[in-house]
C-alpha cells in the first residue's frame, strides 16, 4: 500500500505541474463556444463529451508513467488495480470536469443514464489502454498529394486524425447527415450553424499545427530545404482536406470559407506560440480571447460565403496572405530564443 501511495503522490505532483490537461479544456474553441452559446442546454453535451471523452481519454494520469517503467515496478496485482482505480482522483481535471458535469445536470439525469455513463467510462478506460497510434493499415492508406510536399501532407493528415477534435467534428457532421437522410426536410439555412460548429470544432487545431511534430519533427522542418510558406501550405492542405470532408454533407462552400479563415487567424499562434499537443486529446490552442476572435471571424466568413459565393475571394486572399506572412515569420525564427533577421 505504501508503494501505491508513493506512486499516487508522485502522479499528483506531476499532474499539478502539468497544466496541459486543464488547458485542453479551457483552450479549446469548441468547448468555449458551446459553453457560451448553449449554456444550460448544453448539459448533455458536457456530460457526454466532457465526462466520458475528455475525462477518460484526455486526462488518464496513468499515461504519465512510461509503460516499461510501470511494468518493471515490483507491484502486486492488487496494487495495480488500486492504482488503476485511484489514479483519476489525483487529477485536478477529474474534479473540475466531474464536478461541473454533476452540477449542470443535477436532477435532470436518471439513474439509468448515470449507469450508462459509468459503463462508458469503464469501456473508455479499457479502450484508452490499447496501443492506439499511427501503426494500423488505415494510417498507411493516405491519399497521394503533389510532390515535393506529398509525404509532409500525408504526415499532417495522420497527425490531425489522431486528435479528438476531428472526431467531434465528424460526429456532428454524421449526425446532421443522418437527420437530412431520415428526418424531415431541412431548410438550407439550418445547415449553416452546424457547418460553423463543425469548423469551430476543428479550429483549435489550426492554432497549433506543429503541436504533434515534437522537438524531433520541428528540427527536421528546420533542416529541410523548404521555405516556411511551403511548410504551412502542407499543414493547411491536410487541415482543409479534412474540413471539406466533414463539411461536405452540410454547407461545403461556407465550410471551406470558414476553414480558410480559421487557418488565416490560427497561423499566428501556430508560428509564435507553439504548444505541444498530446495524441488522442482535444487540441489546446491559443488563449481564450484569441480563440473567441477566431470563432467570430469563422462565423462571419461562413455566413458571408453562405450568403454570396463571391465572398470566398476575400477568404482565399486572407488565407494566402497569412501563409505568405507567417511563412516568412517561420523562416526568420530559429525557435530557440534567437532570431534571424527577416531576409530581403
Partner 1 sequence: MCRNLTRRFGEFTAVDGLSFHVAPGAICAFLGPNGAGKSTTVKMLTGLLAPTAGEIEVCGLDPRTNPIELKRRIGVLPEDLGLFDDLTVEEHLQLTASVYGVGKQEAKDRIAQLLRALSLEHGRRTFASACSHGMRKKTSFAMALLPNPRVLFLDEPFEAIDPVTSKIMRDLLQSASRRGITVFLTSHILPVAEEIATQLIMIRKGKIVWDSPASELPQALEQHYFDLVESPVVEELEWLGPPRS
Shortest reach from residue 338's CB to partner 1, in Å: 4
Site for partner 1 contains 147 (CB under 8 A): yes
State which of residues 71, 214, 287, 321 lies at the interface with partner 1 (CB under 8 A): 214
> Which of the ranges 16-24, 41-49, 287-295, 328-336 carries the binding residues for partner 1, by CB under 8 A?
328-336
Q: From residue 52, how far is each of 58, 134, 296 by CA, in Å?
A: 9, 23, 28
Cβ proximity to partner 1, 118 vs 217, nearer residue: 217
State which of residues 21, 56, 155, 210 lies at the interface with partner 1 (CB under 8 A): 155
Contact between residue 12 and residue 90 where contact means Cβ atoms under 8 Å apart: yes
- Bridge partner residues of 339 (DSSP): 333
Q: What share of the chain is helix, strand, coil (3-state, %, to 5)?
A: 75, 0, 25
| Residue 330 CB partners (closer than 8 Å, separation 6+) | 228, 231, 232, 271
Between CA 292 and CA 154 the distance in angstroms is 30
Cβ proximity to partner 1, 86 vs 237, nearer residue: 237
Site for partner 1 contains 273 (CB under 8 A): no
Between CA 17 and CA 13 the distance in angstroms is 6
Phi, psi values for residue 136, rounded to 5°: -70, 170
Shortest reach from residue 152's CB to partner 1, in Å: 7
Q: How many residues bind partner 1 (CB under 8 A)?
A: 38
Site for partner 1 contains 68 (CB under 8 A): no
* Contact pattern from residue 237 through residue 256 relative to partner 1, giving x for each residue in contact according to CB under 8 A and a dash for the rest: --------------------
Site for partner 1 contains 143 (CB under 8 A): no
> Which of the ranges 31-39, 155-163, 197-205, 310-318 carries the binding residues for partner 1, by CB under 8 A?
155-163
Cβ proximity to partner 1, 4 vs 162, nearer residue: 162
Site for partner 1 contains 272 (CB under 8 A): no
Between CA 315 and CA 110 the distance in angstroms is 46
Site for partner 1 contains 151 (CB under 8 A): yes
Cβ proximity to partner 1, 143 vs 338, nearer residue: 338
Cβ proximity to partner 1, 58 vs 333, nearer residue: 333
Site for partner 1 contains 180 (CB under 8 A): no
Burial class (CB in 10 A: 0-12, 13-18, 19+), 344: exposed
Q: Which three cell numbers stand for residue 274?
A: 507553439
Cis peptide before 222 (omega within 30 of 0): no
- Bridge partner residues of 333 (DSSP): 339
Site for partner 1 contains 3 (CB under 8 A): no
Contact between residue 62 and residue 321 where contact means Cβ atoms under 8 Å apart: no
Between CA 328 and CA 207 the distance in angstroms is 17
Between CA 172 and CA 177 the distance in angstroms is 9
Nearest alpha-carbon partner for 132 in 112, 110, 106, 158:
158
> Which of the ranges 10-18, 85-93, 221-229, 242-250 carries the binding residues for partner 1, by CB under 8 A?
221-229
Shortest reach from residue 276's CB to partner 1, in Å: 13
Contact between residue 263 and residue 240 where contact means Cβ atoms under 8 Å apart: yes
Site for partner 1 contains 123 (CB under 8 A): no
Site for partner 1 contains 215 (CB under 8 A): yes
Any idea of the CA torsion for 145, 151, 157, 160, to the nearest 10 degrees?
-150
Shortest reach from residue 43's CB to partner 1, in Å: 37
Shortest reach from residue 145's CB to partner 1, in Å: 11
Site for partner 1 contains 140 (CB under 8 A): yes
Residues of the shown chain interacting with partner 1 in the complex, contacts defined by CB under 8 A: 133-135, 139-140, 147-148, 150-152, 154-155, 158-159, 162, 212-217, 219-220, 222-227, 331, 334, 336-341, 343
Amino acid at each position: 500500500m505504501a508503494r501505491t501511495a508513493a506512486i499516487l503522490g508522485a502522479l499528483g505532483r506531476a499532474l499539478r505541474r502539468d497544466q496541459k490537461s486543464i488547458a485542453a479544456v479551457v483552450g479549446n474553441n469548441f468547448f468555449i463556444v458551446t459553453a457560451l452559446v448553449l449554456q444550460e442546454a448544453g448539459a448533455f453535451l458536457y456530460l457526454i463529451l466532457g465526462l466520458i471523452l475528455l475525462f477518460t481519454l484526455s486526462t488518464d494520469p496513468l499515461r504519465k508513467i512510461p509503460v516499461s517503467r510501470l511494468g518493471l515496478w515490483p507491484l502486486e496485482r492488487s496494487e495495480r488495480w488500486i492504482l488503476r482505480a485511484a489514479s483519476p482522483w489525483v487529477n485536478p481535471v477529474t474534479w473540475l470536469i466531474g464536478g461541473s458535469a454533476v452540477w449542470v445536470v443535477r436532477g435532470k439525469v436518471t439513474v439509468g443514464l448515470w449507469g450508462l455513463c459509468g459503463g462508458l467510462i469503464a469501456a473508455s478506460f479499457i479502450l484508452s489502454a490499447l496501443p492506439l497510434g499511427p501503426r494500423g493499415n488505415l494510417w498507411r492508406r493516405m491519399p497521394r498529394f503533389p510532390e515535393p510536399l506529398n509525404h509532409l501532407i500525408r504526415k499532417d493528415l495522420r497527425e490531425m486524425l489522431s486528435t479528438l477534435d476531428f472526431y467531434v467534428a465528424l460526429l456532428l457532421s454524421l449526425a446532421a447527415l443522418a437527420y437530412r437522410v431520415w428526418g424531415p426536410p431541412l431548410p438550407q439555412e439550418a445547415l449553416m450553424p452546424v457547418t460553423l460548429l463543425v469548423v469551430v470544432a476543428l479550429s483549435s487545431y489550426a492554432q497549433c499545427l506543429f503541436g504533434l511534430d515534437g522537438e524531433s519533427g520541428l528540427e527536421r522542418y528546420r533542416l529541410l530545404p523548404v521555405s516556411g510558406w511551403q511548410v504551412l501550405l502542407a499543414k493547411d492542405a491536410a487541415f482543409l482536406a479534412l474540413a471539406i470532408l466533414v463539411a461536405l454533407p452540410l454547407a461545403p462552400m461556407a465550410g471551406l470559407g470558414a476553414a480558410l479563415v480559421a487557418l488565416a487567424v490560427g497561423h499566428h499562434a501556430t508560428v509564435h506560440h507553439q504548444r505541444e499537443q498530446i495524441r488522442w486529446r482535444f487540441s489546446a490552442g491559443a488563449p481564450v480571447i484569441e480563440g473567441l476572435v477566431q470563432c467570430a471571424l469563422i462565423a462571419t466568413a461562413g455566413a458571408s460565403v453562405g450568403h454570396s459565393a463571391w465572398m470566398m475571394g476575400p477568404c482565399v486572399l486572407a488565407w494566402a496572405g497569412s501563409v505568405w506572412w507567417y511563412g516568412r515569420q517561420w523562416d526568420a525564427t530559429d525557435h530557440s530564443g534567437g532570431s534571424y533577421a527577416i531576409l530581403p
